[in-house]
Amino acid sequence: MRKIDIEDIKNSHIIPNTKVKREDVENAINHVLTQLDLNIAYFGTQFPSSATNKNVYSKIDNIEWTDGFYTGMLWLAYEYTNNPKYRDVAEQHVNSFYHRILHEIEVDHHDLGFLYSLSCVAAYKLTGSAIAKKAALLAADKLITRYQAKSKFIQAWGKLDSQDHHRFIIDCMLNIPLLYWASEVSGNNIYAEIANNHFETSLKYVIRDDASAYHTFYMDMLTGKPLKGVTRQGFSDDSSWARGQAWGIYGIALNYRYTKNEKCFHFYHAMTNYFINRLPKDCICYWDLIFNDGDNHFKDSSSAAIAICGINEMMRYLPETIEDKAKHLDAANSMLNSLIKHYLNQDVVAGGCVLLHGVYSWHSGKGLDEGNIWGDYFLFEALLRYIKDHEIYW
C-alpha cells in the first residue's frame, strides 16, 4: 500500500479536551430553522443560488450542481423536527429532481452525487419514496457513463473523448457514495466496482506524498497513465485548496463507511493532520491552506463544516490505536464552537444564508467572503451529528 507522510499535530490553537455544549448546538439548530422557515416562503418551488451576494441568495431553477444542498437542509429539518412542512417542500423538490434526471437537464458532469444523495437518497432513506429511489438510481446510471475504464476514474466535466477534459477531481469523493448506495439497493455490483476503482485511483494520484490534495488530476487518455495535478479553485497547482482537503477528509470517511477498506485510515489520518496543522487562531481555515493569519485572505467556513462532518463520521470507525484520534475530535469540536460563536449570520432575512464567510471560487471572483449553500448544509449536518444518531444521506 502507498504510504504518505503523517505530520505530527502541532497546532497550539487546538486545546485538548475541548467540548461542545449541547445547549449551543440546540440554539444553533433553532437559528438554522428560523432562517430556513423564511427561505421556504421566499424561494417557493425555486432554489437558492450557489453563493450569496451580500449574504442573500438569489432564486434559481433546478439547474446548478448545488441544488441538492437546499433540499438536504429540508430533509435535515424534517429529520430533526418531524414537522411535515419541511417534508412537503422536500417532496416537491424530489419531483423536480426526478424531472431533471429524466429529461437530462444539466446533468453532464460528475456532481450527480451531491445532487441526488441529499435530495433523493435522503428522501428514500427517510420516507421510502419510490420516485426518489428511481430518480437516484437514474442519477447513478448517468454518473457511471462518465467512467473512463482505461484510466479508472470518473471524469469531472466536459466531453468524454477529449484529452483536455480527461481528469478527475478530489471533490468527486463525495459523488461516489451514490454509487455504493445504488449497488446496495439494486443488487447490481457495477456501481460499487466503478466507485471503488475511482476511489483507488484517487488515493494513488490526487493526494500528494505530504498528504495535501491536488484539486484536479489529469490522466493520459491513450495509455491510462497519470499525467499531472492542476488546480482550478485552489491558489496554485502546488497549494492545497482548503475545500479540496476537506472533500478528501469527508470523502475517505464515507468510502470507509461503505467499503470497510482499512487503507482509508492511513489516508484519512494523514489528510486530517495536514488540515489541522494549518488552522489559524480561530480554527476556521483560510480558503487555501497556504494562507494563515496576517496573509490578508478570506476564510472558507464551508471547508470547516465539511471537515467536521468527515471527522465526526470517521470517529465511529477509527481504531483507538491511532493516537491522534482524540486530537481530531478536539479539532472538530473547536471548529464547531468557532462556527457557532463567530460565523452564524445574525442578520436573519428572507433569502439569507446561515453561515458567513465562505469562498466559492477565488480565481473567478465568485462568492468571495459570502455565504454558500453547501456551507449552510454541512453546518446543519454537523450540528445534527452532535445531537442525534443522524441518518447519513450520503
Whether 111 is catalytic is yes
Closer by beta carbon to ligand GLY, 33 or else 156: 156
Place of cell 504518505: 4
First-to-final CA distance of the chain: 27
Nearer residue to ligand GLY within complex by CB, 244 or 352 = 244
CB of 142 to ligand GLY, least distance (A): 17
**Is 164 annotated as catalytic?**
no
Q: Are 136 and 98 in contact (CB under 8 A)?
A: no
SS3 at position 53: strand
Catalytic residue, candidates 67, 111, 324, 376: 111
239, containing H or E segment: none
From residue 173 to residue 212, what is the string marking binding to ligand GLY with x (rule CB under 6 A)? ----------------------------------------
Quote the least distance from Cβ 243 to ligand GLY, whole Å. 5
Q: C-beta of 7: minimal distance to ligand GLY in Å?
A: 24
Which of 110, 125, 243, 299 forms a contact with ligand GLY (CB under 6 A)? 243
| 67, 79, 91, 171: which one binds ligand GLY (CB under 6 A) | 171
The residue annotated as part of the active site, out of 5, 8, 164, 171, is: 171
Torsion sign across C-alpha atoms 74, 79, 85, 91:
positive
Query: Does 313 participate in binding ligand GLY (rule CB under 6 A)?
Result: no
What is the dihedral angle through the alpha carbons of 57, 61, 66, 70, rounded to the nearest 10 degrees? Answer: 70
Based on the shown chain and the rule CB under 6 A, indicate whether residue 67 belongs to the binding site for ligand GLY: no
Nearer to ligand GLY, 129 or 233 (CB): 233
DSSP 168-213: EEGGGGGTTHHHHHHHHHH--THHHHHHHHHHHHHHHHTB-TTS-B
Closest residue by Cα to residue 290 from 371, 358, 361, 212: 212
Q: Tell me the catalytic residues.
A: 111, 171
Residue ranges binding ligand GLY (CB under 6 A): 171, 233, 243, 360
